[in-house]
Structure 1
Amino acid sequence: MAALVAKRSNKSLLPFANKLQAKAKTPKTIICAVMRKLAHIIFGVLKNKQAFNEHLTCF
């Protein structure tokens, strides 16, 4: 559910999802890729003990 919301509203994940959609990926594949990106972001925030900074993302 979080991946669905992030795909629609997160400024840093929206271009990533659009790029996958342009490559003709299926909707389920796009959601899984966004879910994986979210997991990496969450792990990085917890590991480094820093707040999420969307300007540092490079997708």
Structure 2
Amino acid sequence: FDHVPYLMHDYDLRRTTNIKEVLPEDAFKHPAFFTWDFLKTLNAGKWFIKPE
């Protein structure tokens, strides 16, 4: 843990990031188990944009 506070409304990162592509074996882990340096590398917007 790196003791950097952040707000997360889901229990894990699967719904809102690409964690399943980056670390599929850790996709179910609680976000608190990851460092902020790692979390900020995840794509948290790709899922929201629908291709035209």
TM-score, with length taken from structure 2: 0.26
Which structure is higher in RCO with an 8 Å CA cutoff and minimum separation 6? Answer: 2
More helix by share: 1
